Chain A
Amino acid sequence: MRTLGRLTLVEMKLFIREPITMFFTFALPLLFLFVMGGVFGKMTNGGAGDFHGLSAMAFYTPAYIALVLTSVGVVGLPGHLTGYRERGVLRRFRASSLSIWRIFAAQGLVSLATAALGGIMILIAGVFVFHVSLPQNPFFVILAFLVSALSFISLGLLLGAVLPTSRAAQGVGLVLFFVMLILGGAGPPPEAMTHLMRVVGDFTPMQHAVTLLQNAWQGLGWNWMEFGIMAGILIVSLTAATLVIRRNS
């Protein structure tokens, strides 16, 4: 435990020293929130039928919390882990009893902490700058956040275990990130998207995290179907990542 604690602390410091992941995790989602707030912020309700009938920022605030998770899962984690493998860091750690499991566990903990921090930043900005009302059911929101965060972290660990190089991780990660940003519930209002765009969006994990968070936030109750999808991603990714790591080591 002492080693895992020390490793998590070191990984946390390394995360803070990495400007690119810091930007993708904290700055970019916040930046988009402010852009969307500038464009749609004055629309206080979805009278025209946009945003599922929510006010624009009540719609976007949970969506950008989900974008923080997407950023952690598809950009930060895979890039970091593949870089470690490529540069022999995993091998070096392994030779000194720092197993790949410990490294992945430490990465998971760091990702969870940074995702929580990034999510709270979006929440604060949404509530104080754009006057979004606080969640109707804070417990459900926290639960939705945790399940979604763990799903995206597992997805990130899987990508980190499967992708061969950090270049591949960068390519795949950025494509996934931007597809999810645009079509996964944080881009144009859903009503403004074509049918095809919505179908593709529904295939992204982010769309389901967005809906799960939005429903909990708006007091629409616990969306079991979206929860099931997130939990499914979590279980499948974590199992696959475990199998891949075990086979390779």
Chain B
Amino acid sequence: MINTIQDTSKVIRVENLRKSYKDLVAVDDVSFEVSRGEIFGLLGPNGAGKTTTVECLQGLRRCTSGKISVLGLDPAKNIGELRRRIGSQLQDSELPQRIKVWEALDLFASITPGENGWRKLMKDWDLESKANASFSSLSGGQKQRLFIALALVNHPEVVFLDEMTTGLDPVARHGAWDLIKEIRANGTTVILVTHFMDEAEELCDRLAIVNQGKLLALDSPFGLTSKYATNMKAAFSYEGDDLPSMEDIPQVKKVTRIGGTVEVEGIGSFVSLMAAKLVNHGIVPNDLRTRQPSLEDVFLTLTGHRIEV
């Protein structure tokens, strides 16, 4: 965050980006800006147009219309210089099956003149013991670490990570999250494409919610939840039938009793008011728990349905 305050220059500007195929509009009038040092997320279901959007930014696809500037460069015109200054981890891409880890790093490093720091990168990303292993023999997590190392081998100013934790087990996913935070800590701007709500919530400084080619909302995870998912939930156990009426509290929206559990939905300060009322009635639950609204709720509010993977 310090980075953002010190240097607010925009590294990416997208204005009215549109990409259409014959009868399909993949990206429909999308605009956003990314500041230096940010982790910026594109969140949405599969087929929402996230990958197409970043592929236009990386110069892997030509947009149909709109304006794109990455590090002040137009991907359609300065692709050579742009590719030297960005790093990419692509969805559904692989390396030759029999290439060895060190060979891949050495090869990708050879693109940048004078670059010979790949050995350190191999060490940093815990691939040293796998230096002589072939790509096809690596586990999912090791492949991802190699892809990230390859994306960083040219010391990029912006790194694009597309669905980097898909297919990883929970331990490997959390490991990957730590790696992403590390990249940003080194001053690199990160563009994170994901369909995982928890991932976006955990990592992104700001994120755009994308669905069916359209950008629906853009803010920090907290900003999004406080704007689009205002209802908070609280729950506690109570078996008795003398529960005071919670609906009297104006901030309470909904009360449901399922078995021995009371679930209350509301806004603002309803939890404190509800707790006070319970205590006044001599009910002191020892398992009162609250659930903050999540991006899941935001997506539900914005689209009317849950994210489908």
Contacts and interface: CB of A to CB of B under 8 A. Distances in A.
Nearest to B150: A96
B106 A6 contact: yes
A195 interface: no
A222 interface: no
Interface in A213-233: none
A160 to B, nearest CB: 14
A94 interface: yes
Interface size class of A (residues with CB under 8 A): 20 to 34
Interface string B82-98: 01100110101111111
Interface in A70-109: 84, 87-89, 91-92, 94-98
B267 interface: no
A52 interface: no
A120 interface: no
B95 A89 contact: yes
B237 to A, nearest CB: 51
A246 interface: no
Contacts of A87: 93-94, 97
Nearest to A13: B103
A191 interface: no
Interface in A137-168: none
A112 interface: no
Nearest to B110: A6
Contact of B95 (A6, A7, A92, A95): A92
Q: How large is the interface on B (under 10, 10 to 19, 20 to 34, 35 or more residues)?
A: 20 to 34
Contacts of B88: 95-96
A6 B116 CA distance: 13
A95 B88 CA distance: 7
Contacts of B260: none
A94 B99 contact: no
Nearest to A92: B93
Contacts of B107: 3, 6-7, 10, 98
A13 B103 CA distance: 10
B79 to A, nearest CB: 9
Interface string B104-127: 001110110100000000000000
Given A13-B103, A14-B96, A98-B111, 14 more contacts: A6-B106, A14-B98, A14-B99, A17-B98, A84-B96, A87-B94, A87-B97, A88-B94, A91-B93, A95-B58, A95-B83, A95-B88, A96-B108, A97-B80
24 contacts: A3-B110, A6-B110, A10-B96, A10-B99, A13-B103, A14-B96, A14-B98, A17-B98, A17-B134, A84-B96, A87-B93, A88-B93, A89-B94, A89-B95, A91-B60, A91-B93, A92-B95, A95-B83, A95-B93, A96-B83, A96-B88, A96-B108, A97-B111, A98-B107
Interface of B: 58, 60, 80, 83-84, 87-88, 90, 92-99, 103, 106-108, 110-111, 113, 134, 150, 154
